[in-house]
């Protein structure tokens, strides 16, 4: 059984049909949305375990940074402002030097994202980090389910860097600038909080790219009950990976790699100019990569007419070992 | 290094001296307290790992119930009303039958406590359950640090049942009624949410009994910068354990055992009658077990005059193996 089936079979039915009116969004999005005291709060939790979400021997400061950044990215996907973070650390034994570096990474990301660590717990066990984030939504939280027919699909930044980094993890010696760059994409992703807030009013649906572009876009298609066509040649492959992998691998890393923590979103085409302007002002490329239509599923189309649906099968599932 | 030293050394300094004004309480209490939209929210997280917080072979429905109940108990300690729960499940492989029973236990406790499961995640790894709870505080959240000189110390319910259960865990065959009772105390603790809310306005400090009465009372003493004297003979030893263990073991289980998830609290003695009445109306005993004075630490005194300070050394530390 895959993680998604697990969630569909056991957790989604949990709600039944009767969520209370203060719960705007329950299980199944990047975060839940609840109404408290006139504010909408986004609430998310992410757990990272050794050997699944990070490799043994990762620098503890990178681990601390990455654990917080990937959790906070869920807030960007909801267009929420992250505010309160709690941390659960499971660890076999406490080494002072390791802990100091880990905390340094946590602190760096928390400060970078203008959040506060308000609580946590530590337990003895296999190395694992759980991060819960509470954020304040703008007036319009963005869900995976909001894509509309004829929307355009866009993505922030460049894709494929983090996946390309995997082959260079844990190597000794000074990396080349390109390798250093992709390692940074993997270890220290940048949650697109500020950019998402600027795009908020134009978005109809959004998700962050954690499991792979096609898989994550598939979530928007599925929850919005629409079909999404992606144009392979439009996907913004990270230019810095071109010297590190073949062209085919670069394309695959961008389409199916995951871990880039960019935001994919859909919007009405009338807002294209405004969205383009926001990207230019933020100095972060925003690229239109597809369209929303009637139907279901995701197709990856080529400008030359081919269909590359096999990408849809290659997203990251936590209960399969990573290839 | 012990868990408490870890928190003191690495996490408490995290805040520095400059918490923003919306964070009323940061790391170090049963929950953080933050102000959102005119409401005070209590936020807590608890992680339970196999072999440390529960035994291999525990019935999955008991595991589900206990994981939620122990996390929700933190809300009782703050006098908050639990509302939104998220669940992080780390598990090696998904067995449908196990999952169904686990979810049943989760559901039962969530419903019992009038909460909603709003999100969660599942990862592959050693069996471990993280539960995050967000609750709504009354007008007066209660902290560990609020004990005042001359306060009385009281505890809800009876103590020692959960610890006594440990020797009967995993046994086959139908247990006797007394054993069944203590197993219930261990597997399905009752977070004292409603009772704590009624006691709220009279409380000066509070904590839930998870690591052991003396250890937990020690947290109130330490954070309040006071000394607490407990009277050994006043501690409400669970009457149902008298037939299961010796008198000395019963006393030790009540004083140092933990896992009962009752609430220990301090209050001004002028409120004694009102507190007594609340307990009688709720049909839950509330017992005065000690006093707060100048100084520091916890002493366990005997009515006959002896001092039993060795109990103070026997609380549960997650990074030591349980005796």
B283-302 exposure pattern, b = at least 16 Cβ within 10 A, e = fewer? ebebbbbbbbeeeeebbbbe
Asked if B31's CB is within 8 angstroms of A36's CB, the reply is no
B56: number of Cβ within 10 Å: 8
Interface test with chain B among A1, A98, A119, A318, by most B beta carbons within 10 Å: A119
Work out the average pLDDT over A195-224.
Answer: 96
Chain B hits for A43, CB-CB cut-off 8 Å, are 84, 86, 118-119, 132, 134
In this structure, of A107-121, A214-228, A305-319, the range with the lowest mean pLDDT score is A305-319
| Residues whose CB falls within 8 Å of the CB of residue B137, separated by 6 or more in sequence, listed in order | B33, B39, B40, B41, B42, B78, B79, B80, B81
Question: Which residues form the domain of A113?
Answer: 3-137
pLDDT for A20 equals 87
In a domain, residue A319? The reply is no
Work out the average pLDDT over B210-220.
Answer: 96
Report the gap between the CA of A317 and the closest CA in chain B (Å): 9
pLDDT exceeding 70 applies to what percent of chain A? 89
A139: number of Cβ within 10 Å: 8
B73's tokens: 């108990």
Q: How far apart, in whole angstroms, are the C-alpha atoms of residue B314 and residue B257?
A: 8
Q: B39 to chain A: nearest residue by CA?
A: A37
Q: Partners of B289 in the beta sheet?
A: none
Q: How far apart, in whole angstroms, are the C-alpha atoms of residue B218 and residue B231?
A: 14
pLDDT for B307 equals 60
Pick from A45, A100, A128: CB nearest B125: A128
Per the structure, the count of domains in chain B is: 2
Q: Assign residue A49 the CATH number of its domain.
A: 3.30.1330.10
Alpha-carbon separation of residue B270 from B150, B201, B203, B281, B287 (angstroms) = 11, 13, 11, 19, 15
In this prediction, residue B192 has a pLDDT band, given cuts at 50, 70 and 90, of: very high
In a domain, residue A323? The reply is no
Asked if B90's CB is within 8 angstroms of A47's CB, the reply is yes
The yes-or-no verdict on residue A317 having pLDDT over 60 is no
In this prediction, residue B15 has a pLDDT band, given cuts at 50, 70 and 90, of: low
What rounded mean pLDDT belongs to chain A?
A: 90
E-assigned strands of chain A?
23-25, 32-36, 39-49, 80-91, 116-124, 128-137, 152-156, 203-208, 227-231, 263-267, 286-293, 297-301
Work out the average pLDDT over B276-283.
Answer: 97
Q: Assign residue B175 the CATH number of its domain.
A: 3.90.650.10
The residue among A137, A152, A183 that closes a domain is A137
pLDDT for A321 equals 38
Pick from B38, B116, B128: CB nearest A19: B116
A212's tokens: 């792979």
Chain A hits for B101, CB-CB cut-off 8 Å, are none
pLDDT for B52 equals 83
Report the gap between the CA of A36 and the closest CA in chain B (Å): 7
Asked if A94's CB is within 8 angstroms of B14's CB, the reply is no
Report the gap between the CA of A229 and the closest CA in chain B (Å): 28
Domain shared by B96 and B191, yes or no: no
**CA–centroid distance for B274 within its chain:** 23
In a domain, residue B21? The reply is yes
pLDDT digits (tens, 9 = 90+) for A165-206: 999 998 888 999 999 999 999 999 999 999 999 999 999 999
Contact criterion met (CB below 8 Å) for B165 and B108: no
Asked if B14's CB is within 8 angstroms of A103's CB, the reply is yes
Chain A hits for B3, CB-CB cut-off 8 Å, are 122
Domain shared by A114 and A148, yes or no: no
pLDDT for B3 equals 67
Asked if B23's CB is within 8 angstroms of A116's CB, the reply is yes
Q: How far apart, in whole angstroms, are the C-alpha atoms of residue B178 and residue B205?
A: 33
| Residues whose CB falls within 8 Å of the CB of residue A6, separated by 6 or more in sequence, listed in order | A319, B94, B99, B122
pLDDT for A16 equals 56
pLDDT digits (tens, 9 = 90+) for B82-125: 999 999 999 998 889 999 999 999 999 999 999 999 998 888 88
Selection from B158, B127, B124, B2 nearest residue B54 by Cα? B127
Contact criterion met (CB below 8 Å) for B151 and B267: yes
pLDDT for A38 equals 87
The yes-or-no verdict on residue A160 having pLDDT over 90 is yes
3-state helix, strand, coil in chain B (%, to 5): 40, 30, 35
Domain shared by A133 and A154, yes or no: no
Report the gap between the CA of A140 and the closest CA in chain B (Å): 16
In this prediction, residue B2 has a pLDDT band, given cuts at 50, 70 and 90, of: low
pLDDT for A26 equals 87
B157's tokens: 């319910």
Domain shared by B77 and B159, yes or no: no
Domain shared by A61 and A157, yes or no: no
Domain shared by A217 and A82, yes or no: no
Work out the average pLDDT over B266-273.
Answer: 97
Residue identified by tokens 């004990």 is B147
What rounded mean pLDDT belongs to chain B?
A: 90
Selection from A226, A243, A224, A191 nearest residue A69 by Cα? A191
Contact criterion met (CB below 8 Å) for B142 and B192: no
pLDDT for B47 equals 92
Interface test with chain B among A23, A47, A109, by most B beta carbons within 10 Å: A47
pLDDT digits (tens, 9 = 90+) for A69-78: 999 999 999 9
The yes-or-no verdict on residue B269 having pLDDT over 80 is yes
Task: Say whether B246 sits in a helix, a strand or coil.
Answer: coil
pLDDT for B53 equals 85
The residue among A137, A159, A183 that closes a domain is A137
pLDDT digits (tens, 9 = 90+) for B30-59: 899 999 988 999 999 999 998 888 888 899
Domain shared by A225 and A181, yes or no: yes
pLDDT for B12 equals 67
pLDDT for A3 equals 67
CA atoms within 13 Å, Cβ hemisphere of A44: 27
pLDDT for A272 equals 96
Domain shared by B302 and B162, yes or no: yes
The residue among B111, B137, B163 that closes a domain is B137
Report the gap between the CA of B191 and the closest CA in chain A (Å): 19
Contact criterion met (CB below 8 Å) for A224 and A292: yes
The yes-or-no verdict on residue B316 having pLDDT over 70 is no
Work out the average pLDDT over A206-231.
Answer: 96
């Amino acid at each position: 059984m895959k993680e998604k089936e697990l969630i569909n079979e056991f957790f989604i039915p949990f709600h039944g049909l009767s969520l209370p009116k203060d719960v705007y969004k329950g299980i199944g999005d990047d975060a839940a949305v609840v109404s408290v005291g006139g504010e909408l709060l986004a609430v998310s939790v992410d757990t990272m375990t050794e050997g699944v979400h990070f490799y043994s021997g990762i620098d503890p400061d990178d681990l601390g940074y990455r654990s917080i950044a990937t959790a906070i990215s869920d807030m960007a996907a909801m267009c929420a402002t992250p505010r309160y973070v709690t941390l659960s650390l499971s660890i076999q034994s406490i080494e002072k030097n390791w802990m100091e570096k880990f905390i340094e990474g946590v602190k760096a990301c928390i400060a970078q994202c203008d959040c506060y660590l308000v609580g946590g717990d530590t337990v003895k066990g296999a190395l694992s980090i759980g991060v819960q984030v509470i954020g304040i939504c703008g007036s319009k939280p963005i869900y995976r389910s909001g894509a509309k027919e004829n929307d355009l699909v866009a993505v922030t930044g460049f894709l494929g860097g983090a996946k390309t980094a995997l082959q260079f993890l844990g190597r000794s010696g000074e990396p080349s600038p390109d390798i250093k760059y992709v390692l940074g994409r993997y270890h220290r992703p940048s949650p697109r909080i500020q950019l998402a807030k600027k795009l908020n009013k134009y978005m109809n649906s959004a998700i962050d790219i954690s499991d792979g572009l096609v898989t994550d876009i598939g979530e928007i298609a599925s929850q919005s009950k629409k079909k999404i066509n992606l144009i392979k040649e439009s996907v913004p492959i990270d230019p810095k990976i071109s010297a590190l992998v073949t062209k085919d691998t670069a394309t695959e890393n961008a389409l199916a790699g995951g871990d880039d923590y960019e935001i994919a979103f859909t919007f009405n085409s009338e807002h294209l100019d405004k969205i383009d302007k926001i990207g230019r002002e933020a100095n972060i490329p925003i690229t239109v990569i597809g369209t929303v239509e009637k139907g279901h599923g995701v197709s990856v189309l080529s400008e030359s007419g081919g269909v590359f649906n096999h990408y849809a099968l290659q997203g990251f599932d936590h209960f399969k070992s990573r290839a």
